[in-house]
Amino acid sequence: MQIQAAVAFEAHSPFVLRSVTIETPRDDEVLVRVVGVGLCHTDLVARDQFIPVPLPAVLGHEGSGVVELVGSAVTKVKPGDRVVMSFSSCGRCARCQEHLPSYCGQFRGLNLSGARPDGSSGLSLEGRAVSANFFGQSSFASHALTYERNLVRIDDADAPLELLGPLGCGFQTGAGGVMRALACPPGSTIAIFGGGPVGMSAVMGAVIQACASIILVEPIAARRDLALELGATHVVDPGDGDGDVAAAIRAILPGGVDFAFETSGRVAVAEAALAALSGHGLLGLVGVPARREDSLSVNLTAAVSAGLRIHGIVEGDSDLDGFIPQLVALRKAGRFPIDRLIKTFPLAQINEAVAAQARGDFVKAVLLP
């Protein structure tokens, strides 16, 4: 079948909308008609080869849509089901058995190789294979081949399906980072570094957790204002004064914060987050660094004497079938207002969306095939 897809041909170059061929689902695969797909930083670092997915490739990993066909071995979903697509996991390893699929022992091969487990691709362009299977979906397209473990059925018929795709990555990473990985208790204090999709969903997650103080560190004024409307108690402009963000946070909370959540992947920001912690404080790291060799410098004496803790977090420790429906229900109740973060673009305008999101014109772009 011929479908439309945004293809990445070269690093640091625009996506190109092309007609590509998609295979009929295999026994364990599901064909989904994509109705919306979030634009995530991870897609861009894959295009630009920080994640070395072979190019050309169809990326996209925050898709939502409607099931059209299922393979003979699929039992979880059926044609007509409304679904959110998320990451792949094997379902058999120790972490999967602990309901922590984002730490699956096969995560890299299943999500980042650009191919099925057998090395093949379900997409081709003019007779030549194109890298696909990105996060088990490659949803920068009108249709995607995926797997039942990737899929979460959305039973709420009133939920705006086209806006729910980012729950499969960015929004669950931020909210889950605070609600599940850090598990911030009521009355605790947190500083969130970066007001992008992950950081803003972390702010909303901290409100849900009833944190007493929620500080967002973000250079864009409009995002700071939005964070306050969403429930942040304080905001910090990292460009103010001498730029000592940890000192600015300690001016608000002299003892430091119980939790820090770093979304930018920048070493200096992570070090500032660490310096803002109180005794036995916990730093959650979710940001993808610009270079593989980037390392966090930790003073061992300070870390030991203060009991500081560092926790790397993937996909918000989400268990998919439990957490994504929880977020859908919270949105319906008005407690997780993702609609306020999103601006939609036709898939054909993906490059305009990339540029506008990078400028900070809005928080999250969602592409509509």
Q: Catalogue all structural domains in the chain, each as residue range(s) with its CATH number.
A: 2-168+337-368 (3.90.180.10), 175-314 (3.40.50.720)
SS3 content of the chain, % helix, strand, coil (to 5): 35, 25, 40
Q: How far apart are CA 63 and CA 306, in angstroms?
A: 42
Q: Are strands 213-217 and 234-236 parallel, antiparallel or unpaired?
A: parallel
Residue 334, C-beta contacts closer than 8 angstroms, at least 6 positions apart = none
Are 259 and 282 in contact by the 8 Å Cβ rule? The answer is yes
pLDDT in tens, 191-228: 999 999 999 999 999 999 999 999 999 999 999 999 99
Q: How far apart are CA 282 and CA 304, in angstroms?
A: 13
Are 139 and 34 in contact by the 8 Å Cβ rule? The answer is yes
Q: How far apart are CA 99 and CA 150, in angstroms?
A: 14
Q: How far apart are CA 22 and CA 144, in angstroms?
A: 8
Q: Above 90 in pLDDT, residue 319?
A: yes
Model confidence at 302, pLDDT cuts 50, 70, 90, reads confident
End-to-end CA distance of the chain: 16
Are 147 and 136 in contact by the 8 Å Cβ rule? The answer is yes
* Claim: this prediction has a pTM higher than 0.85: yes
Q: How far apart are CA 239 and CA 22, in angstroms?
A: 48
Q: Above 80 in pLDDT, residue 290?
A: no
| Amino acid (one-letter) located at 246 | A
pLDDT of residue 292: 81
- Which strands form 277-285's sheet, in the order they lie side by side? 234-236, 213-217, 189-193, 257-262, 277-285, 309-312
Which three-class secondary structure state does DSSP give residue 334?
A: coil
pLDDT of residue 270: 95
The pLDDT mean for the chain works out to: 97
Closest alpha carbon to 264 in 311, 199, 314? 199
Give backbone dihedrals phi and psi of 128, rounded to 5 degrees, phi first. Answer: -115, 140
Residue 53, C-beta contacts closer than 8 angstroms, at least 6 positions apart = 46, 59, 112, 113, 114, 131, 134
What 8-state DSSP symbol labels residue 126? T
Q: Above 90 in pLDDT, residue 18?
A: yes
- 249: tokens are 């946070």
pLDDT of residue 235: 98
- 302: tokens are 């300070």
Model confidence at 243, pLDDT cuts 50, 70, 90, reads confident
Closest alpha carbon to 281 in 316, 264, 305? 305
Alpha carbon distances (Å) from 200 to 173, 196, 246, 362: 11, 6, 20, 11
Point out which residues pair with 45 in neighbouring strands: none
- For tokens 């929880």, the residue is 326
The predicted model gives 53-70 an average pLDDT of 98
Point out which residues pair with 284 in neighbouring strands: 261, 311
pLDDT in tens, 131-160: 999 999 999 999 999 999 999 999 999 999
Q: Above 90 in pLDDT, residue 78?
A: yes
Point out which residues pair with 152 in neighbouring strands: 84
